[in-house]
Amino acid sequence: MKRKINRSLGGTIALFLFIALVGAFMALPLIFTVNNAFKPLDEFFLFPPRFWVRNPTTNNFADLFILMAESWVPFSRYILNSIFITGAGTFGHVIIAAAAAYPLAKHEFKGKAVLFSIVVLSLMFSPQVTAIPNYMVITLLGFNNTYAALIVPAFAFSLGLYLMKQFMEQIPDSLLESAQIDGASEYRTFFSIVMPNVKPAWLTLAILMFQQLWGNTGGMFIRSEQLRPLNFALLLITQGGVPARAGASAAVGLIIMSVPITFFIISQSSIIETMTTSGMKE
Amino acid sequence: MRKRGKFSLSLRGREAMLGYMFIMPWLIGFIVFFLANYLHTLRMSVSSVDMVAAGGYDLSFSGLENFRHIFTEHATFTRVFVESMLGILVDIPLIIFFSLFIALLLNRKFKMRGIVRAVFFLPVIMASAAITNAIEQSLLMVMGGLTTMPPEMQQTTGLSVQSIAVLLANFGLPLQIIQYIIGAVARVYEIVRASGVQILIFLAALQSVPTSLYEVAFIEGSTPYEAFWKITLPIISPLIVTNVVYTVVDRYVTSAVVDMAYESAFLHWSFGVSAAMSVVSSVAVLLLLLMVCGFISKFAFYHT
């Protein structure tokens, strides 16, 4: 199975250097944020500014926790809100987009071509531009100032459907036919054949949705304090007072960022490569 | 055995019914939350929108007045529009090649692969509003209230671009090619930043290439180079099309012309003009997309 590909040592080193260089370039903002989060207050205002932290301290986090304790809605509520919005939105989007993509990729029915062109067409409209009609629709449905205003529209994003459809088209028809011959219902086929086969695809989609929903601050839709997501509360803290909260806001940056990164690493490493191809021997 | 109910359908009919059932949840959400918005935007683009003192606004049909305005009277729309479209066109090959290359490298087995992949996805995570905001806040404080970072970066790229231009002109390369390369270099930072999702899509695509194909190829004595061109590339070619679509959409949504439409609406309160701008640019992007994808699909390989 495993084949050693002959490659010169020089080539390997060159590739490694390339990855390291580009990677370092990309990691720069992260390293900067981590450094800042552990800087004591006096190092923030050094001139010229220093990139690396000299005397790391956890004071910034301590400050942040003190500020959190002062908020009049318990801070755990913000965290729960964020987890609920992100979790429900991501899960619903992946299931609904995948379910809709399955017939578009693998079935024949009337209106299929039209539907798919609408999907592609709708990719072209940016959310900023449709902000006003969107607000009107949300209000009309009575979703204004509820979790649903953030969660339910996430179900119907067309990008996810488009991605899933493209990946599902890769599954050979014979695989689905053999499942059907063995007596699997459409639901069974969908959940035990199609979904495992496009696992890399829906994990990708989950990552995308997760990071989109996690970054949401509730915007114009959520105005009740007890419904606001974590990001909103944290941003309020950073905007409080400029010099005194420099440390706390650096800590906030690190906390907000670390959650999607962790999710990414977990979901990426749960893809087992050989599994996807085991069923596809023509 | 399948039981057939009172309303028995043909096999094809049943398949169609199931198809609709799978699609229905998405379709309802799509019509309510998205389609309605697009139609409303279309309507606004052919209306003059007047704010009402009591709150809300009035729409009155004004034909193509808004479109006439943006093309003949608006000071900068035509220029920004054309530049955005050309920018997208230039970005497509750069992003696709870069992300495919990185994906191929990241698809190898090596230690800490998950973390390295995460590093390449960082720009996408960083792009979310809340995080940029928090980082900018602390950056602002570090820099003593001066946003020195971005202009500094622009300056360094500007310098190197100039020296490269001189160098290339000395080689006697045609101007168009020099311009393309200069554009590419100036965009390196942008390209690297905008490739996160594309890398991820290519990684997912690479994982769906059957390993048995490689085994056969290597037993038959092919080199890794041949294996790439004859196995990997054909199998992931449909997903190159996917990535092109994603790239175009992503670049368009963050392009200057969309910013302009947004500003016309929310800074200048001319909603009709803004809607016309977004309709024009959306249609243009769609045409561009059809052209590019039509071109690439000729080379794509499908299982059927």
Among partner residues B106, B120, B200, which is closest to A207 by beta-carbon distance?
B200
Q: Is B218 in the A-facing interface, judged by CB distances under 8 Å?
A: yes
**What pLDDT sits at residue B120?**
82
Element (H, E) at B58: strand B57-61
Check pLDDT > 60 for residue B110: yes
**What pLDDT sits at residue A94?**
93
**What pLDDT sits at residue B9?**
67
Residues 6+ apart with CB under 8 A from A123: A158, A159, A162, B245, B249
Count of alpha carbons within 13 Å of A78, Cβ hemisphere only? 23
**What pLDDT sits at residue A48?**
63
Domains of chain A by residue range: 27-73+241-273, 84-227
Please answer yes or no on whether B245 and A120 come within 8 Å at the CB atom: yes
Interface test mutation site (partner A, options B24, B33, B244, max chain A beta carbons within 10 A): B33
Distances (CA, A) of B197 to A19, A108, A158, A254: 17, 30, 16, 22
Confidence (pTM): 0.77
CB-based burial label for B8 (10 Å; 0-12, 13-18, 19+): exposed
Q: Quick one: closest CA in B to A279, which residue? A: B210
Q: What CATH number labels A84-227? A: 1.10.3720.10
**Rounded Cα distance, A187 and A179, in Å:** 11
What are the tens digits of pLDDT across the range B193-210? 788 888 888 988 888 777
Residue B118 lies in domain: 75-297
**Rounded Cα distance, B142 and A35, in Å:** 12
Q: Is residue B3 part of a domain?
A: no
**What pLDDT sits at residue B159?**
42
Residues in chain B within 8 Å Cβ distance of A204: 200-201, 203-204
Check pLDDT > 60 for residue B214: yes
Q: Is A156 in the B-facing interface, judged by CB distances under 8 Å?
A: yes
What are the tens digits of pLDDT across the range B142-168? 544 443 444 433 333 334 455 556 666
Q: Is B210 in the A-facing interface, judged by CB distances under 8 Å?
A: yes
Residues of chain B numbered 231-290 and touching chain A (CB < 8 Å): 235, 238-239, 241-242, 245-246, 249, 252-253, 258, 261-262, 265-266, 271, 274-275, 278, 282, 285-286, 289
Element (H, E) at B51: strand B47-51
Interface test mutation site (partner B, options A33, A67, A117, A132, max chain B beta carbons within 10 A): A132
Query: Tell me, what's the ipTM?
Result: 0.75
Residues in chain B within 8 Å Cβ distance of A269: 113-114
Q: Is residue B221 part of a domain?
A: yes
- Tell me how many helices (H) and strands (E) chain A has: 15, 0
**What pLDDT sits at residue A95?**
92
Tally the domains of chain B: 1
The CATH number covering residue B207 comes to 1.10.3720
Please answer yes or no on whether A172 and B118 come within 8 Å at the CB atom: no
pLDDT along chain A (282 residues), means of 10: 56 80 76 80 68 79 80 81 91 91 84 82 71 80 84 84 86 86 86 86 87 79 81 73 66 82 82 50 46
Do A95 and A164 touch, CB atoms closer than 8 A?
no
**Rounded Cα distance, B34 and B26, in Å:** 11
**What pLDDT sits at residue A92?**
92
